[in-house]
Every structure is written in structure tokens, then in C-alpha cells.
């Protein structure tokens, strides 16, 4: 059994969001980089749990990016996994990234590909679905539970107002979110072990991106909060009804 | 032609589909073409009536297999429908189904996609779609360079507008593969408004001090026909179920009205709710960062303010 987990580098959740170069580039000054939380807390930790139950599982990580991603992928390896592959390319667009991951997945013959449900910077929610299509494999998105018995995966996925339980045979691609696993902190042994785990660099496949970011914008600033006295709750109801037309 | 994917569940068309139909019709008018709908599976709703959102035709692939989502099966059928109808623009809702299917269709057709769109594209200079990024803290304008263009629209970001009109229903004959995803159970939270579909959401945080105090919030939610939500510490402490957790790592929502009670408004919480149209914050700490993101606020004790708010809304409703 071979599992591939997709890892992305994202700004920390508390980062100040600003743009430079005429609003065409994210301002990286002073930004702390982390493993995308959905990739780390859910996809990666769940894969590690599966490997802890079945030591014969081979667990590889993949990321698409420059050498600046190496510290992030080492952090991921400190949590677990046997080796990592970095496709040495810029993040051109979702289709480009998914094509690179699909290429790695095809070459490596993985039975299961896990991703986070989205990255917290681009919020694309697209990579898992595209990788599945490029591999012609079934896809479960927004999984909240994931279990494996032999070649059969049992998953719960989010639907409007609830969840759906499904069974699927591997090979399979799954995007993971809260519920699949719990966040872990790497221990010293893991951090030491990660230093010597293989981090292979692969050259990208020739693929054309289909979209490009023209510019960024910040939302207009809020007008400022209108405070209402706690002794005059009726005024809040009036404002919500007449001004905001919200009730 | 603009083809709009009509999402359905349990025999009924979803509310988010009316938003994308309206959006698709507006986009078609902007491009000087027509909009048509694509429905997979069978529903009890009247399909010709969908013409009131501005679409001319509804293409239907009526196979019972398509009443349940298997993204692989759906993507193949939708891609074939795009090809056979000659559509050059395809619109989905960025809801659970759209997230599973739209990027697959894009990869299959080698079509550029913008997911999480928040406005109509700018077509004056190419085809540039605005989308939310950084969990609602910014927008990106993304240009699609491929001949076929795919957009998935954030739910609750475009107002449904209905006029007059009838759509012609056309049966599409497309082979449907046997699904590989076997659905064994569906667990819906009954009797509650689904959080991601709700117009109004009432949410509680640690300021409510314990699960036994949730009654005041539930009463308010009931009066407003609102869905209920909570902050991460509340879900982690098991005061409320995990499916109510909104925020960066929970569910992201964009209701018309979000009422936050006893929530301080950490940046991770705001990332889940900052696309709400109107935000009301009730918190006894005037320094709570949530007030900076709010439209209306009351600095006060939730245990006094919330029951009064419920009462005042009841009075307003009774008075018409």
C-alpha cells in the first residue's frame, strides 16, 4: 500500500495580508510560513495514523514549489512519512500544480492520494479533484472521516446540513478537513529523523497553466461598528430591519 | 453559450442553483449570448419554471444514478454535455457538489477555472474573474486564458433575481458510467437549518460560559429561523457539536446576517465568517477585536442582552 500526501506552503493564519508591485504580488515581508493546516492536521496526520496501524504502508509527501519549500516539507517529515518529493516549479495555477502531482502519482503507483480541502491562501479547493480526474480515479471531497480496511475505504463527507457515508475501492483521491484527524506536535525524535529522510527533487512536466492572477485587492474597509446601548436593544432591531434589511 | 450546472438533492433543486442561474443569465447577456441549464438526475420541481431566472433551455440527463454524487461519473457526463451543447462558459456553485465536480470537469476539458468567484467577470479585456483569497481577507482577479472557461460562484454572493420566462426542457442522451462511490448512509441533522445554506446564523463563544447556557442563543435562533454555530474553543470543549464550528479550520459561511455572542473574534474565527453581509457582535469586552469587523455591536452582558433581543424581534414580527 502506497499513500501520497500533498503538502502546500502557506502564510501563517495570523499573517497580515498586503500586496506589493502594484497589487500583483503578495507581500512576504515578515510572513511566517507554515504547512497548509488542512494538509497537515488532517491529510498528513491521518496518513501517519494509518501507517502506525500498518507498518507495511509506504508514505510519501509531495509538494510543488521552489527550494524555499524545503523547510516546510522537512517540518512535515518531522511529523511522519518515509520520504518527500518536491517538484521544482513555480505555483503557476491549479491545473499546473495538479498536473505535476498527477505525474508523480502515476510514476509512483500510489493507491491513495490525500490532500487538504483547500489552501488557506488561494482557497482553490481544486487540486484534489483535478488530480483525481487526471488519474481517472474516484474522488471524495470534504471528507470528515476516513478509514481503510484492505482495499476498501470508508469515508464520511460533508453535504448540506449533514454528512454522507460512502464506500470506495482504491485507488482513490480524498480531500480532508476537520474530523479526519487531530493536530499533532512533532517530537524531537521526529525532527531529528526528518533531517536524514530523503527529499527528492523532480523536474516539472511540461504543462501550460490555464489561468493567471492579474491583480489583488483588499476589501473596502468596514464603515466602523455602530454601537447600540444594551439598554436600547429595540434600536438594534430597528437598524437591522430598516437599515441593514437583514431581518 | 453559458451552461449553468443545476444542483439538486432529494428531488429538489438547491437554493444555490437559483443564484448561479441568475448569474449565468447575466453573464450571457454581458457576452451577447444565451444561458442554458444542465440538470443531472431527476427532480420533482417544475423545470420549465427555471426560465424565470433567464435561461432558455434546461438540458436534462435523467438517469437515477445521477441522483447521488460520484464526482468521477458527474464530471464525465458534464464534460460531454459541454461538448455536445457547444458551451464555451460553464458556471457551478462553489458548494459541496461544485467543489467535488467543477475542477474535475476543468481538468477533463483542459479549461481554465476560477473557484470561489464573487462577482461577474470583467470581459472588457479578456476574461477576468474576481475570487476571494486568503480566507476572505482579500480578492484576486484571475484571468482565464483557455477557450472554455469555468467559474464556480461562492454561495450567497450573488442575489437571485426572478422575472418572467419559460425554459424548454431538452433530454440529453449521454451514457452514464456505473458509480464507484457506494453511498451507505446519509446523516442529516433534522429539524435544523443547514449552516451553509442559512440566511441568518446565530453563533456563540466562550463568553456563554457553558453548554447549559445555550438556551438563550437557541431561543434567538428559533425566533429568527436561524442556523446555530459556535467558535472553535466551544466545539473543542464539546459544548456544541463539531459540525457547528465556523472559522478558518471549521466551516466557512457567508450568511446575510451573522450574530456573534460572546465570541472575541480571533483572526481564525473571522476567516470563517467575514463574507457575511451584516455582522452583529454582542460582547461585554469593549476591546474585543470582533467589534472592528462588525457592522453593529452591543457592549453588554449576553445573558441580559440576548433574551431582550429575542423579545424585541418577537415584538417587531408581531407588529408586522
B180·A138 Cβ contact <8 A = yes
B191 CA: distance to closest CA in chain A (Å)? 10
Cβ of residue A233 closer than 8 Å to a chain B Cβ:
yes
Q: Write the DSSP string, chain A.
A: -EEEEE--EEE-TT----EETTTTEE--TTPPEEE-HIIIIIIIHHHHHHHHH-TT-EEEEEEES-GGGHHHHHHHHHHS-SEEEEE-S----HHHHHHHHHHHHHHHT-SEEEEES--TTT----HHHHHHHHHT--EEEEEEEEEEETTEEEEEEEETTEEEEEEEESSEEEEE-TTS-------HHHHHHHHHS-EEEEPPP----SEEEEEEEPPPPP---EE--TT-HHHHHHIIIIIS---
With an 8 Å Cβ cutoff, is B276 touching chain A? no
Q: Average pLDDT for residues B210-231, to the nearest whole number?
A: 96
- Of all residues in chain B, the percent with pLDDT exceeding 90 is 90
Is the CB of residue B119 less than 8 Å away from at least one CB of chain A?
no
Query: What ipTM was estimated for this complex?
Result: 0.95
Q: Do B107 and A217 touch (CB under 8 A)?
A: no
A243 part of a folded domain: no
Whole-number pLDDT of residue B156: 87
pLDDT for B320 equals 56
The radius of gyration of chain B from alpha carbons, rounded to an integer in Å, stands at: 21
Distance (Å) from the C-alpha of residue A193 to the closest C-alpha of chain B?
A: 29
Q: Is the pLDDT of residue B203 over 70?
A: yes
In chain B, residues with a C-beta closer than 8 Å to the C-beta of A230 are: 298-301, 304-305
- Checking if the pLDDT of B192 tops 80, the result is no
Closest-CA distance, A220 to chain B, in angstroms, reads: 10
Q: Please report where in the chains the cell 441522483 appears, as a residue.
A: B67
pLDDT for A161 equals: 81
Number of structural domains in chain A:
1
Task: Give B264's contacts in chain A (Cβ within 8 Å).
Answer: none
Let me know if residue A236 belongs to a domain. no
Cross-chain CB nearest to B139 (options A38, A219, A229):
A219
A106 at interface of B, judged by CB pairs closer than 8 A: no
Reported as a single tens digit per residue, the pLDDT across B22-53 is 999 999 999 999 999 999 999 999 999 999 99
Question: What are the sequence ranges of the domains in chain B?
Answer: 2-171, 195-318
Contact A133 B103 (CB under 8 A): yes
Query: What's the whole-number mean pLDDT along residues B67-85?
Result: 98
Residues 300-319 of B with CB under 8 A from A: 300-301, 304-305, 308-309, 312-313, 315-316
Axis-axis angle for helices A94-108, B96-109 (nearest 10): 80
CB within 8 Å of chain A, chain B residues 8-67: 9, 14
Query: Which of chain B's residues have a Cβ under 8 Å away from the Cβ of A140?
Result: 71, 100, 181
Output the domain CATH number for residue A168. Answer: 3.40.50.620
pLDDT value, residue B257: 97
**CATH class entry, domain B2-171:** alpha beta
Which among B14, B103, B134 has CB closest to A121?
B134
Q: Does the beta carbon of A93 lie under 8 angstroms from any beta carbon of chain B?
A: yes
Contact B99 A141 (CB under 8 A): yes
Residue B147 has a pLDDT of 98
> Residue B172: helix, strand or coil by DSSP?
coil
Say whether B195-318 and B2-171 share the same fold.
yes
Q: Do residue A210 and residue B146 have CB atoms under 8 angstroms apart?
A: yes
Q: Pick A161's closest partner by Cβ from B188, B248, B312.
A: B188
Q: Among candidates A178, A164, A112, which has minimal Cα distance to B100?
A: A164
**Nearest one of A124, A182, A30 to B142, comparing CA atoms:** A124
Which residues span the domain enclosing A84?
2-219
**pLDDT, average across residues B221-241:** 95
Q: Which of residues 6-25 of A touch B (CB under 8 A)?
A: 11, 13-14, 17, 19
- Residue B297 and residue A227: Cβ atoms within 8 Å? yes
Tell me the mean pLDDT per 10 residues along chain A, length 247: 98 94 96 97 98 97 98 98 97 96 98 97 97 98 96 95 94 96 94 97 98 95 91 96 94
Q: Using a CB-CB distance cutoff of 8 angstroms, which residues of chain B are in contact with residue A225?
A: 281, 291-292, 294-297
- Tell me what pLDDT residue A223 has: 83
Chain B residues within 8 A of A219 when measuring between CB atoms? 136-139
Residue B315 has pLDDT above 80, yes or no: yes
> Residue B65: its chain A contacts at CB < 8 A?
none
CATH entry 3.40.50.1220 includes domain B195-318:
yes
Residues A27-34: contacts with CB under 8 Å, at least 24 apart: A33/A9, A33/A68, A33/A71, A33/A72, A34/A9, A34/A10, A34/A72
Residue A191: what pLDDT? Answer: 96
Q: Give the pLDDT confidence score for residue B191 in this predicted structure.
A: 67
Span between the terminal Cα atoms of chain A, in Å? 54
pLDDT of residue B36: 98
Nearest CA in chain A to B178: A138
Residue from A15, A124, A145 to probe the interface with B (highest B Cβ count within 10 Å)? A124
Give the pLDDT confidence score for residue A221 in this predicted structure: 82
Amino acid at each position: 500500500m502506497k499513500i501520497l500526501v500533498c503538502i502546500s506552503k502557506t502564510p501563517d493564519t495570523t499573517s497580515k495580508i498586503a500586496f506589493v508591485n502594484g497589487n500583483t504580488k503578495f507581500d512576504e515581508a515578515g510572513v511566517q510560513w507554515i504547512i497548509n493546516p488542512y494538509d497537515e492536521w488532517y491529510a498528513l496526520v491521518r496518513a501517519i495514523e494509518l501507517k502506525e496501524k500498518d507498518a507495511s504502508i509506504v508514505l510519501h509527501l509531495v509538494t510543488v514549489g521552489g527550494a524555499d519549500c524545503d523547510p516546510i516539507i522537512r517540518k512535515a517529515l518531522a511529523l511522519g512519512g518515509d520520504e518527500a518529493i518536491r517538484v521544482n516549479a513555480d505555483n503557476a495555477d491549479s491545473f499546473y500544480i495538479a498536473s505535476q502531482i498527477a505525474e508523480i502519482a502515476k510514476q509512483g503507483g500510489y493507491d491513495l492520494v490525500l490532500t487538504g480541502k483547500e489552501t488557506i491562501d488561494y482557497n482553490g479547493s481544486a487540486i484534489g479533484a483535478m488530480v483525481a480526474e487526471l488519474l481517472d480515479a474516484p474522488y471524495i471531497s470534504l471528507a470528515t472521516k476516513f478509514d481503510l480496511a484492505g482495499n476498501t475505504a470508508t469515508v464520511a463527507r460533508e453535504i448540506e446540513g449533514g454528512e454522507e457515508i460512502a464506500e470506495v475501492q482504491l485507488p482513490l483521491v480524498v480531500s480532508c478537513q476537520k474530523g479526519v484527524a487531530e493536530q499533532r506536535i512533532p517530537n524531537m525524535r521526529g525532527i531529528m529523523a526528518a533531517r536524514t529522510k530523503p527529499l527528492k527533487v523532480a523536474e516539472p512536466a511540461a504543462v501550460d497553466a490555464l489561468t493567471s492572477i492579474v491583480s489583488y485587492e483588499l476589501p473596502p474597509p468596514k464603515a466602523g461598528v455602530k454601537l447600540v446601548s444594551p439598554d436600547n436593544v429595540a434600536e438594534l432591531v430597528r437598524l437591522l430591519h430598516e437599515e441593514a434589511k437583514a431581518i | 453559450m453559458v451552461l449553468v450546472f443545476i444542483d439538486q438533492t432529494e428531488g429538489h433543486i438547491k437554493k444555490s442553483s437559483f443564484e448561479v442561474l441568475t448569474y449565468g443569465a447575466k453573464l450571457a447577456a454581458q457576452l451577447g449570448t444565451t444561458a442554458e441549464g444542465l440538470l443531472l438526475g431527476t427532480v420533482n420541481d417544475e423545470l420549465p419554471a427555471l426560465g424565470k431566472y433567464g435561461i432558455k433551455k434546461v438540458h436534462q440527463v435523467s438517469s437515477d444514478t445521477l441522483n447521488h454524487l460520484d464526482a468521477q461519473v458527474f464530471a464525465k457526463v458534464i464534460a460531454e454535455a459541454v461538448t455536445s451543447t457547444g458551451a464555451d462558459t460553464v458556471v457551478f456553485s462553489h458548494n459541496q457538489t461544485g467543489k467535488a465536480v467543477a475542477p474535475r470537469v476543468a481538468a477533463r476539458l483542459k479549461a481554465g477555472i476560477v473557484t470561489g468567484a464573487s462577482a461577474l467577470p470583467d470581459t472588457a479585456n479578456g476574461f477576468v474573474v474576481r475570487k476571494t483569497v486568503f480566507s476572505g481577507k482579500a480578492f484576486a482577479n484571475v484571468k482565464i486564458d483557455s477557450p472554455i472557461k469555468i467559474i464556480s460562484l461562492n454561495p450567497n454572493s450573488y442575489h437571485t433575481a426572478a422575472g418572467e420566462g419559460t425554459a424548454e426542457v431538452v433530454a440529453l442522451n449521454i451514457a452514464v458510467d456505473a458509480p464507484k462511490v457506494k453511498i451507505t448512509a446519509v446523516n442529516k441533522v433534522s429539524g435544523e437549518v443547514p449552516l451553509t445554506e442559512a440566511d441568518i446564523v446565530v453563533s456563540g463563544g466562550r463568553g456563554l460560559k457553558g453548554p447549559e447556557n445555550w438556551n438563550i442563543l437557541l431561543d434567538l435562533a428559533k425566533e429568527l429561523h436561524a442556523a446555530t454555530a459556535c467558535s472553535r474553543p466551544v466545539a473543542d470543549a464539546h459544548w456544541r457539536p463539531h459540525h457547528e464550528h465556523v472559522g478558518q479550520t471549521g466551516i466557512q459561511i457567508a450568511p446575510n446576517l451573522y450574530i456573534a455572542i460572546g465570541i472575541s473574534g480571533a483572526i481564525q474565527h473571522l476567516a470563517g465568517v467575514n463574507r457575511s453581509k451584516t455582522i452583529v457582535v454582542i460582547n461585554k469586552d469593549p476591546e474585543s477585536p470582533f467589534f472592528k469587523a462588525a457592522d453593529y455591536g452591543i457592549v453588554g452582558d449576553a445573558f441580559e442582552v440576548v433574551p431582550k433581543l429575542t423579545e424585541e424581534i418577537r415584538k417587531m414580527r408581531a407588529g408586522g
